[in-house]
Amino acid sequence: MSTVIPYGRQHITEEDITAVIETLKSDYLTQGPKIVEFEEAFAKYIGCKYAVAVANGTAALHLCTLALDVTEGDKVITTPITFAASANCVRYCGGEVVFADIDADTYLLDINNVRALLESSPKGTYKGIVPVDFAGRAVNLEEYRKLADEFGLWIIEDACHAPGGYFVDSKGEQQFCGNGNFADLAIFSFHPVKHIACGEGGMITTNDEDLYKKLLKLRTHGITKNEDQYTNDITFATGGVQDDSYPAWYMEMQTLGYNYRLTDFQAALGTSQLTRANEGIARRRNIAKTYEDAFTGKAYIEGQSGAIEGHAYHLYIIEATDRLGLYKYLRKQGIYAQIHYIPCHLMPYYREFGWKEGDMPLSEEYYKKCISLPMYPTLTDDELNFVINTIDSYYKQ
């Protein structure tokens, strides 16, 4: 095999390309009809009421902390085993990130550790929780909602890894990631390694109408063109002339917002990609099953993602003996496995806040062994077998 096999990659079809080209030839490159089309299709897919398309997943997180009024000193709990943006969004608003350790089997933020933190401080100390559907495995948000309500917290679900993933609730019903039934807000990313690719792109989903309206405004400079929200009167708006309506040019900037918009051609790509989302997940689950079967019982495997119901398989992770050796060997064979993640609390930026080795023992232990294997819908069976056989041959030498 001559070409490199990455851990994740996009799948672009002729239909996707046509959708983008048609939008490039249309009247709108941005702020046009493709945005709403994508938002509506995405909300339907996820099963939530409202969706707000934004420039990327990090912008989505930032808008969430803004909409929830995170301010200086607010304490927010998240997992160290995530992409830094899940924590950074709290810092953008001056809040304080408090990490809690993972569950060693699921790799997800352990609710027992979160509960212990909440119970060891006076009520009101913490403002929110950012659980992450890490690797595509859905967090049980029904349990998190109960805990959050007990302590008056909000929840931002970082569902970047899990569009189409679900957990089964206490009534036996499938609860899809980002459906807004439990979390206040959820966010997704459309970076090419994620399930749905827009180049760059993100989405916020919610069932809360007030938060939805706030997000729309924050996405575009804090500007509204909705007359019902105007605070200046018509005579001011017209330029000192009495009239019975606001002039068409009028708008108000009411709060400090940003330009975090998605373009129409990216949205067109997203909508086109979305039509294949279920197909993509089915293939991912199929790959996961093949990995699981191949690695079960192998002495060099200390843990693996496994075939879990509702898992969206953004990543397939194994915990392996001699991880560094395996990583280098795979790379030499053109298999670019990846490590997810370097524990966030030990990034130099977060060490400055006092976080140190030993603070999150399970996350740190996990980091020593984890490696994410190639996982994407266009990975062929031949490539998949090549990956499995190459891993096997490393440990046989």
Q: Where on the phi/psi map is residue 239: left (φ > 0), alpha (ψ -120 to 50), or beta? A: left
Q: Can you tell me whether residue 224 is helix, strand or coil?
A: strand
Q: Which of 51, 66, 160, 262 binds ligand PLP (CB under 6 A)?
A: 160
For position 58 contacting ligand PLP by CB under 6 A, the verdict is yes
How many helices (H) and strands (E) are present in the chain, helices listed first?
A: 14, 16
Q: Which of 16, 74, 158, 364 binds ligand PLP (CB under 6 A)?
A: 158
Spatial distance between the Cα atoms of 202 and 165, rounded to a whole number of angstroms: 17
Supply the minimum distance, in Å, between the C-beta of residue 99 and ligand PLP. 14
Nearest to 110 by CA among 84, 90, 134: 134
Cβ nearer to ligand PLP, comparing 88 with 290: 88
Cβ nearer to ligand PLP, comparing 308 with 391: 308
Residue whose token pair is 């997943």:
57
Q: Measured on CA atoms in the order 18, 24, 27, 29, is the torsion positive or negative?
A: positive
Spatial distance between the Cα atoms of 275 and 285, rounded to a whole number of angstroms: 18
Residue type at position 372: S
For position 86 contacting ligand PLP by CB under 6 A, the verdict is yes
Annotated catalytic, 217?
no
- DSSP output for 162-201: -TT-EEE-TTS-EEETT-SSS-SEEEEE--TTSSS--SS-
Q: Which of 161, 214, 283, 285 binds ligand PLP (CB under 6 A)?
A: 161
Cβ nearer to ligand PLP, comparing 35 with 301: 35
* 187-226 binders of ligand PLP (CB under 6 A): 189, 191, 202
Supply the minimum distance, in Å, between the C-beta of residue 57 and ligand PLP. 2
Q: What angle do CA 76, 96, 166 make, to 5 degrees?
A: 30
- Whether 60 and 219 have beta carbons less than 8 Å apart is answered as no
Cβ nearer to ligand PLP, comparing 101 with 158: 158
Supply the minimum distance, in Å, between the C-beta of residue 33 and ligand PLP. 23
- Whether 63 and 210 have beta carbons less than 8 Å apart is answered as no
Supply the minimum distance, in Å, between the C-beta of residue 271 and ligand PLP. 17
Widest CA span in the chain: 87
Cβ nearer to ligand PLP, comparing 182 with 260: 260
Residues 6+ apart with CB under 8 A from 48: 178, 179, 180, 186, 205, 206, 207
Supply the minimum distance, in Å, between the C-beta of residue 32 and ligand PLP. 22
Supply the minimum distance, in Å, between the C-beta of residue 396 and ligand PLP. 34
For position 304 contacting ligand PLP by CB under 6 A, the verdict is no
Number of residues engaging ligand PLP in binding (CB under 6 A): 14
Dig out the tokens for 272 from the structure.
Answer: 């086109």
* 96-135 binders of ligand PLP (CB under 6 A): 132
Cβ nearer to ligand PLP, comparing 187 with 301: 187
Q: Which of 23, 56, 224, 271 binds ligand PLP (CB under 6 A)?
A: 56
Supply the minimum distance, in Å, between the C-beta of residue 6 and ligand PLP. 15
Spatial distance between the Cα atoms of 319 and 363, rounded to a whole number of angstroms: 12
Among residues 75, 194, 214, 369, the one annotated as catalytic is 194
For position 164 contacting ligand PLP by CB under 6 A, the verdict is no
Kindly list the catalytic residues: 194
- Residues forming contacts to ligand PLP in the complex (CB under 6 A) are 56-58, 82-83, 85-86, 132, 158, 160-161, 189, 191, 202
